[in-house]
Every structure is written in structure tokens, then in C-alpha cells.
Chain A
């Protein structure tokens, strides 16, 4: 879509409150301008809906097909959530294991990396052969999303202040205590960073797996709807489903950002206001 940035945008805000308002308003202005341009292009060139539907038609489809699309949205979101939870648990657990035992790290890390660098779109068809479809979809989401959690958690666990570690040693802290009171809190900002990446990636993983499963299975997620609509040349519905996918991604990102902010706001630089 062509998006024409508004040339007459407001000048950067005068004060802090102003700057904040501008940061919210500017993207909205860009969005409105983009939609207007899109609508204009469709109208002026008289483009038929099966080539490019106008924004109005997409919106109308979204409402008309809401019963089908909402069902698909829920399916995809559920898959994403399962993949995300699996990635979070798997990534953090693996990082903890690696942190406790160098032997395990040396043995398994190369395979974690191989899993990460092999494109999931190429693995998905294989997974669909060997696993039940629902499991395969979750497995895909997991494969894409767990590595950032693993890498970030490992980094966090290794960035513990050396003097604090010495202090724990001095007071005879057990391994479990060191983990709970020192390593995990110190790693928390890193873990949350990993989870923010993993949230978006697990949605991508779920979509990839649904597309791969699309023609074969009984999937009814949003990506499956997109594939199906494409076969039927139901372009407006494709756009509507795409819109929902983007919205889902944005909401996931914002929720994880909010969670991160709430957990870190009292102490971590990343969550502190710049004016402090």
C-alpha cells in the first residue's frame, strides 16, 4: 500500500507532554493518510475487488465474515499462546540447565542453533507428517520462538554482578537460593526482552505451520483462511484476515511490553522515565 506521509505534520512537541502526544498522533495520521490514499487509488483506477479491494470493502468483509474470522482468530491465537508458553518454558528451562552444567551446554547448544537457523517453513511439512496437526503447529511455533528466549536468558544468567555472586557465596547461599534470589532477578530484563521477541515469532511460527498444513488438514486458523480465500479469489477476506493477524501481532507485542514495563519499572534503566 502506498502511504503518503503527511507533509504538514505537526512540529515536534514543545514540551514533554506534547512530544508524547505527537508520538501517539503521528502514526494515526500516517494510518489515516494511507487508508485515504488506498481508497483513492482503488476508486480512481476503478480496480475490481478481486484484484484490490478498497478499505471500505475490507472493513465490511471483516464485519460480515466476523463469525468465521473470529473463530479462526481464536484458533490462531490459541496456537500462538501454546507455542509461546512452550517456547518460554523450554527456552528458560534449557538456559537454566546450560547454566548449571557446562557439559549439557556443550552437548546441546549446537543443536539448538541448528534448529534455529533451519528455516521453519522447510521443517513444517516434515513435522506435519510425523505429528498430529495441532501438535505440529505448536511445535513450529515453539521452534521459531524458543531460541531468542534461550539466548537472552543465557546472556542474563551470565551477567550477574561478580561481587554480588561473591556475597552470596560468603553467606553460604545454596544453589537454589542463588538461582532464586540472584540469578533469576538479574536475568529478568534479558528474559523479558527474549519473550518480547518470542511473542511475535510464535505468531509467525503458527502462521507458517497453518499455511503448510493448509491444504492437507482441517485447520481453521487465520493463515488457513488466507490460503483458502486465495484459492477462492476471495481477496477482501484475505485482507480482512491479514488485518486481524497484524492486529493480533501488535496486541501481543504491546501486552508483553506492558508486562515488561510493570515488572521492571521500579529498578531497571530500560523502564525508567528518561527525565529521571
Chain B
């Protein structure tokens, strides 16, 4: 049930990330209309809220904001349609598969006078936000080296495995940490990437692990690793930021506030699956973005950040192809 001041949201797409978004929207008291080629009924049934509609136009009609949670290769088309309907947009990362298209979307938003926010949710994870606050306040001095790792079971939907549709692991998964590395250490001037893939098996896809070295304009270096691991692998992220006056580090597998050992296989010795004991970062994210869309307090991420993140992933993919480092020319503020 929408609360009096809850936003009216057109949620386009009903796949993996839509599950996280609809929960957050319902908690925020939003009226959510879901349109998707596939899975909308199941999504609404599973989360006990929202309304399934039969067309995108119906979802857009009367909405305050469009939440684009479709596969990456469709983002541009959906975002443009939302702008054509005069609607502000929150778009799942990556904003687009190329920095050229991402830049065009930002330009389209600007000329239409509409908001476009890329949903870089890692900026809203409490450990990452606490680290950023400390680093931005000078807590580690001048940043020398940053490390970020991100590992999870390889996504099974076929479009993820097609680099023309997902941009591969660098564009789809590692972009979270590329964005964060730039947020803490600033613009990047050189990108080098390597990737290793194990052979697919009859019953499942192979494991993919990509490693990227960023050189920042400040001289700081970032080492970013993204892994699509074997089925059943626990989702895990780590970071360390080291500077002239100290370092900060985090490993999502450490410091679990509650561990249970009930002697049952799979649950022993572990953090309760899916439980972080802090506010859901998607809720933090969508609350802040919805507030910004309505002209309230500014969000911690903007459309230009979405373009810059795509540009970093694009450069890493180019480096994977060429085997050489890719130089990034400084860009004019906001240019793609």
C-alpha cells in the first residue's frame, strides 16, 4: 500500500536486481507498477506488493520516477523512453555498454531537464561508506594503493555470459569497484587488465576471474579483482586502502555478529546467509536517490559517475583485447 508521500515508481524489469529494488521501494511506501517481458507476476507475488501492468506506457503513466532494472543491453532504449515520457530515471549499473551511449543518456537527461541516477549500490554499503568517509577526511593521508575484490557464483542467466549483452565480468560486476576506486582516489589515467577463464563443463559455465590495475591522476594505484566463481560460492568482498598515514581494510567474511553451528552441513561456522544485520543498502540507496529526484538532498552518486565507471570498464575491456595498457585522456567535466 502506497503511503501518502510514497513515490510512484515504474519498475521496468523483474530479474535478479528487481528483487532487491522492489523490497526497498515497498519499505519506502512506494506505489510500484512492474512491467517486464518476463517474471513480473512472480516478482510481485514473491514480495507481496506492487502491481503488474501490461505495458511500459501503463507503468509510466502518472509515475514520479522510472527504475530501470532490465538487462544492460536494453538500458539505453528504456531510459530514452522514460525521458520521452518526461520522467526522471534511476538506472541499474552499468548505465550503458559503452561510454559513448552512457554520455548520450546523460546529455539527453540534461537537455530534457530530467534526473538520471546510476544505481552504484556499493557506495551505499555501510562498510564501504564508513571507509569512504574516513579516507575522504584524510584518515589514511595520501592514498598510495587500493585493493578491491568481489567474488560470487557466476550468474546463470545466458545474457550475462555474452559480452555483447553484458559487457562481461568487468562491465557487469567489477564496475562496482572501479566506480569506488575512482570515488576514493580520483580520476584514472591508465588501465591494464588481465582475465582468466576455466573451460565450460557440460553442466555449468567455467569460472571467470579478471584483474585490473588502475593508475590514478594523483599517482595512486588500484588493484581490482572480480571473480565469477563456481556455483554455490559464498558472495564475498574485500578492500584495503593504504596511504601515507595508515590504512583501512574490510573483509565481508570477517567480524560476523552472529554465527551458528547447528551441526548441519552448509550452515556450520558461517555468517547467516543473506543477513548483514545492517540496513539493506538497496533501501539506503533508493531512499537517497528518490529524495534527490524530488529535489531534496543531493545523492552521493551522479550521472557523470555512471559514465566514468562505464569508461573505466570499457578501457579495461579494451586492455583485455589488446594485452596492453590503455591510456585515458582527461575528460572535460561531464563529457563522455
Do A and B interact with each other, yes or no? no
